[in-house]
Structure 1
Amino acid sequence: MSCSGGFLLQLTQRCKKHPKQMMQIHSLIVTNGHLLHYPNAPLSDQWMPTLLYNALISAYHTHKHKVLLFTYMLANQAPPNSHTFSPLLKSSPLPLGTTFHSQTLKRGLLSDPFILTSLLALYARNQLLPHAHRVFEEFPMVCIVACNAMLNAFSINGHMEAAVAFFERMPQKDVYSWTTVVNGFALNGNFGASIRFFGKMMSHGDVVRGLVKPNEATCASVLSSCANLDGRVALDCGKQVHGYVLMNEAKLGVNVGTSLINLYGKMGRLSNAEKVFRQMVVRKVCTWNAMISSLACHGREKEALDMFEKMKLHGLKPSSITLVAVLTACARGNFVREGLELFRSMWQDFGIEPIMKHYGCVVDLLGRAGHVEEAAEIIRNMPFKPDASVLGAFLGACRIHGAIELGEEIGKKMLKLQRQHCGQYVLLSSMNAEKERWDHAADLRREIMEAGIHEIPAYSMVDLT
C-alpha cells in the first residue's frame, strides 16, 4: 500500500491519542520509505522525513520511544529542527536533557522560545534553579510565557519570596501567573499564604475589570489549600470559591468538583459533598476516591463500599488511592471478610501492588476486630519494614485487646530498626505500666534515654472562629 508523506503526516497528527493506530501509521511510514533522507530529492520533499520524525516523536508517550526515534533520525540524516527538541526535553531525565541542550546549541536553535522554555522547565524540575535562571536570561525577547516559566521554577523549588518578588516585577500578568503563585504556596505547605494570595488576585484591578479570570486550576488549587486548613475561615473561603464557580461556569469541572468534595468531606459537610458529586457531569477516578474517602471517614462505611461497587459498574479502574479509601472503610466498619478479600485480590483484580498504606489499613482492620495474631503475621510477612503508622495501628490494637506480650515482641523487634519512632516506645512503655509491669516499663524508658530519643511535646488548640 503506497501512501504519500503528506497524507501520512496528517494521519499522524490526527491519531496522537490513539496508540494502536499510531503504531499502524508508523509501520506504513517505514514501509513506504518516508523516513529516509534523499539529498537529491526536490527541496519540498527533503524536509518530509524531518516533519514525520517530529510528528512521531511528539505522538509517542514513552520517553524510550522518543529517544529511539531521535537516534534513527540522526542515523538517517534527517536534520532535526526547533520542533524536534521540545517534546524530547519535556520528558528527558537530566543527563540526557543536557545532551539535547548541547544538540540545540550545536545546531543554532537556542534562539527558539519553545526550546528555551522546555530547557528552563528541565532544569527547574531537577532543582537546578541557577541553570534555569541562566536559560531565562538567554531569551531574545522576554515574554509572558518565559516569565511564567521562571515563576514556576521559583515556586516548585520552594523559593516563594523570590517568586513573589519576580511576580511583582513582571510587566504583564495573566491567569497562569497568578495561579502559579497560588499553587506554589500550596505546594510548599503554606496554605494560608495561598488563600491570601488568591484573595489578592480577586481584588486586583485586572480581575475586577474582567481582563483576568480565575480558571479551573486556580480554583482547584485554592480549594486544596482550604481543605488542608482547619476552622471556619477555611470552610467559608471554600464556599466563596464554590459560589464563584457556580456563578461563572456552566458546569463543574473534574478538578474543581473533586477539590470541593475533598474540602466538604474533610470539614464533615457530607451533604454538600454528595450534592457536588451528583452535580458533576464528568467524574474521574479521583472524584470517586474523594467521595469514598469522605464517606469512610465519617461513619458511613457501608455507603463507601456501595460507592466503590458503583464506581466499578461505571467501568472505572480503581487506583492505589481508591483501595486505601475502601480498606479504611472496611477497618472502620468492621468489614473484616470484605477487607481481606480486597487486599488479597489487589494484584489479580486490579494490577495494584500493595504499598505501606494498604498494609497499614489491613493491620488496622485486623487489630480493631481483635485478630491481633493475624495482624502480627501480616507485619512479619511484609516485603518491607513497617513504618510508624503500621506499628502504631498494631500497638494500639494490642493495648485495647490486652496482647501486651505480642505487642512487645513485635514492637521491640521493629523499633530496634527504627529508633526514631519515639511515640511507639512511649506507647509500649505505657502499655506495660497499665498492666503494672513496672520493670518492663522502666526498661523501655531507659532505652529511650540511652538512644537519645526526645519525646515530642503535645499541644492542644481551640478554634475560636
Structure 2
Amino acid sequence: MRRASPYSYALHALLLTSGALLPDTKRSPATVTAFPYNCLAHAHLRFSAASPPSAPLRLFSAMLARGARPNRHSFPSLLKSAAASGSAAAAGALHAQCLRRGLASDRFVACSLVSAYGRTGHPARDARKVFDEMEGSPDLAACNALLDALCLAGDLEAAGTFFERMPARDAVTWTTFVSGLSRGGRHRCALEVFGGFLLGNMGRRLEEATLGLMSGMAVHAYMVRHEVEPTAFLGTALVDMYGKHGRLGGCTGAFEFVCRKEVCTWNALLLALANHGKEAEALVKFDMMRAEGFSPNQITFVALLMACARAGMVEIGLYWFEAMVANYKVTPLMVHYGCVVDLLGRAGRFMDAIQVIERMPFAPDASVWGDLLGACRLHGNVELAVEVGKKLMALGPQQSGRYVTVRNVFLEDGNWQAGVRIGEVMQEAGIKKIVGQSSVVLHGHAIL
C-alpha cells in the first residue's frame, strides 16, 4: 500500500487519549455528542490511503453503541464511505437511519443519499425518489448527483432529459453527462455534447475534469500551455491514450508529467509497455512502482503476466502469479489464468498449461482456450490444436476465427485434406469468414 498520511491516526489517538471516544460512566448518554465521531469519520475519508473505505461505517456502529446521536453532519461521510466500498446494503441501511431520525429530506444529507445510491448500484428510481423528496428546490450539487446516478444506472434517456431541463450547469455537469454517454457506448453523441460545451465556453479555461475527456495530443498541449497540473485521473487518461496509439515516447512523457501518481497511472504505463514490445522495461517499472510504496492490483498483474508471456520469462511469470495470491492477496480472474496459459503455451509447456486450466476454480472461457490454441499453432502441435479447436467451436459455433485458426494449423502442417475439410464444415454450417479491413488516417480522415 501507499505510505499513508498519519493525520487520521493522530486524530484518532488524540480523541482516545482525551476520553472523547471512551465510555464515561459519569456522563449520561445524552451528553455524548456526535462531533468527535464526525471529525474522525471525515478524517478517514480525507486520508483514504490510511484507512479502508469501511472505517467510517465501523465508527458509526461504535457511535450508536456509546449513545451518541448522529446528526445531519454525520451521514454525508457515512454515505461516502458506503459508496467508496460499493456496499448497496450499507447505503440502504443508512437511508433507513436517516428516515428514522427525520434527516432524509435535509438537502445536505439527501444529496449524499442520491450520490450513494448511484454509486452502489441501486436502481435509478431510488436516487430519483430521494431527489424528489428534498426540501426546497434542489441546488446544482444535488442535480449533478442525480445526473451521475442516472448515468451510472445506464438510463441515458432519462439522463438526457434531466440534463436538458437543468436550470444551471457547470463543468461537472457536462463532464458527468459526456462520461455517461461514452461509458454507455454513445460515443458520437458524447462528442456532440462535448462540442456544445466547447462552443458555450469559448474564451474560458476548460476545467480539468472536462479535459480528461478530450482525445489526442491537443489535451497534452493545452495543459502544458496553460500550466494545468495533471491529476492521477487526467494523467492516466493521457498515458492510456498514448499507449493505445503505440506512442511510447508520449506515453512515458505523460507519465512523468503526472506529479501525484496512483496505481491506475502505473497500470496504464505497464500495459502500454507490455503491449508494444517493451516487456523488460515493464518489469523495471513494476519494481519501481513497488519501491515507491504502491500495492499492485488485479490490472497490474495482468500487465505483468502479459509482459512475462511475451518475453518468454516463464519462471518469473510463474513466480509473480503465485506471489499475486500469496503475498498480495489478489484473487486471480479468468484473464490472469489466460495469461499463465499463454505464458506456458508460448514456451511449449503444454502439459503444464493444461494442468493450469484443469485447476482453475471456474470453467475456462473462449479466451483461455484461444490462448492455448495460439500456442499450438506457434509450435505446430496439431493434435492438441484439434482438441482445443473442438472446445472453442462448442463454445461459439458461429465464430469463424476459431475454424480458420484450426484450418491454418492443418495447412501449415501439410495436412491439406484436413484443412479443406474444415472449410467444408464452415460452408455447410453457413459460417462465413469475416473479411479483414485496414484503415489509414490521412489529414484526419480514415481511408479504408
Q: Which consecutive residues of structure 1, in runs of 5 or more, have no partner in the other structure?
A: 1-14, 40-45, 227-237
> Superposition pairs for residues 359-398 of structure 1, below 5 Å?
359-398=337-376
Counterpart for residue 407 of structure 2: 430
Percent identical pairs in the alignment equals 36
Asked if 1:214 is matched to 2:214, the reply is: no
User: After the TM superposition, which parts of structure 1 deviate over 6 Å for at least 4 consecutive aligned residues?
Assistant: 453-456
Structure 1 residues 366 and 70: alpha-carbon distance in aligned structure 2, compared to 1, 3 A threshold: closer
Counterpart for residue 332 of structure 2: 354
Structure-1 separation of matches of 2:318 and 2:193:
45
Structure-2 separation of matches of 1:287 and 1:62:
21
Structure-2 separation of matches of 1:63 and 1:265:
31
Structure 1 residues 442 and 247: alpha-carbon distance in aligned structure 2, compared to 1, 3 A threshold: closer
Asked if 1:282 is matched to 2:260, the reply is: yes
Query: Over aligned residue pairs, what C-alpha RMSD do you find?
Result: 3.5
Selected match of 2:247 from 269, 278, 284: 269
Deviations 1:413-450 (A, max 9, x none): 6876x45784575257526753356499669959x96x
Counterpart for residue 185 of structure 1: 181
Counterpart for residue 229 of structure 2: 251
Structure 1 residues 110 and 306: alpha-carbon distance in aligned structure 2, compared to 1, 3 A threshold: closer
Whether the 8 Å contact between 1:432 and 1:441 is mirrored in structure 2 is no
Whether the 8 Å contact between 2:232 and 2:265 is mirrored in structure 1 is yes
Counterpart for residue 130 of structure 2: 135
Whether the 8 Å contact between 1:183 and 1:218 is mirrored in structure 2 is no
Selected match of 1:113 from 107, 112, 120: 107
Structure 1 residues 64 and 34: alpha-carbon distance in aligned structure 2, compared to 1, 3 A threshold: farther
Report the Cα offset of residue 148 of structure 1.
Answer: 0.7
> Superposition pairs for residues 285-364 of structure 1, below 5 Å?
285-364=263-342
Counterpart for residue 47 of structure 2: none
Structure-2 separation of matches of 1:441 and 1:350:
49
Structure-2 separation of matches of 1:342 and 1:110:
48
Asked if 1:462 is matched to 2:439, the reply is: yes
Q: Secondary structure at the match of 1:395?
A: helix
Structure 1 residues 179 and 459: alpha-carbon distance in aligned structure 2, compared to 1, 3 A threshold: same
Amino acid of the residue matched to residue 184 of structure 1? G
Report the Cα offset of residue 132 of structure 1.
Answer: 1.7
Amino acid of the residue matched to residue 146 of structure 1? A
Counterpart for residue 69 of structure 2: 79
Report the Cα offset of residue 263 of structure 1.
Answer: 0.7
Deviations 1:377-419 (A, max 9, x none): 2222223222222110101111232222223445546876x45
Q: Secondary structure at the match of 1:79?
A: coil
Structure-1 separation of matches of 2:76 and 2:60:
12
Structure 1 residues 433 and 102: alpha-carbon distance in aligned structure 2, compared to 1, 3 A threshold: same
Q: Which consecutive residues of structure 2, in runs of 5 or more, have no partner in the other structure?
A: 45-50
Whether the 8 Å contact between 2:389 and 2:406 is mirrored in structure 1 is no
Greater displacement, 242-251 / 346-355: 346-355
Asked if 1:51 is matched to 2:35, the reply is: yes
Deviations 1:21-62 (A, max 9, x none): 4553454336754698627xxxxxx66522223334444555
Structure-2 separation of matches of 1:65 and 1:254:
24
Structure 1 residues 306 and 33: alpha-carbon distance in aligned structure 2, compared to 1, 3 A threshold: closer
Report the Cα offset of residue 209 of structure 1.
Answer: 4.5
Whether the 8 Å contact between 1:34 and 1:49 is mirrored in structure 2 is no
Selected match of 1:145 from 119, 141, 144: 141
Deviations 1:213-238 (A, max 9, x none): 43332222x14xx4xxxxxxxxxxx2
Give the paired residue count. 422
Structure-1 separation of matches of 2:27 and 2:96:
23
Greater relative contact order (CA < 8 Å, ≥ 6 in sequence)? 2
Structure-1 separation of matches of 2:211 and 2:422:
53
Selected match of 1:122 from 116, 124, 131: 116
Structure-1 separation of matches of 2:203 and 2:374:
57
Structure-1 separation of matches of 2:293 and 2:157:
45
Whether the 8 Å contact between 2:88 and 2:122 is mirrored in structure 1 is no
Amino acid of the residue matched to residue 462 of structure 1? S
Structure-2 separation of matches of 1:178 and 1:248:
21
Report the Cα offset of residue 181 of structure 1.
Answer: 1.1
Amino acid of the residue matched to residue 144 of structure 1? L
Deviations 1:241-277 (A, max 9, x none): 2222122235333222221121111112222222223
Counterpart for residue 165 of structure 1: 161
Q: Secondary structure at the match of 1:171?
A: coil
Structure 1 residues 322 and 152: alpha-carbon distance in aligned structure 2, compared to 1, 3 A threshold: same
Deviations 1:112-156 (A, max 9, x none): 112111222233333422222222122212211111111112211
Structure-2 separation of matches of 1:402 and 1:260:
40
Selected match of 1:400 from 378, 397, 402: 378
Structure 1 residues 350 and 102: alpha-carbon distance in aligned structure 2, compared to 1, 3 A threshold: closer
Q: Given the two structures, how large is their TM-score scaled by the length of structure 2? A: 0.81
Structure-2 separation of matches of 1:357 and 1:134:
39
> Superposition pairs for residues 81-96 of structure 1, below 5 Å?
81-92=71-82, 93-96=87-90
Q: Given the two structures, how large is their TM-score scaled by the length of structure 1? A: 0.78
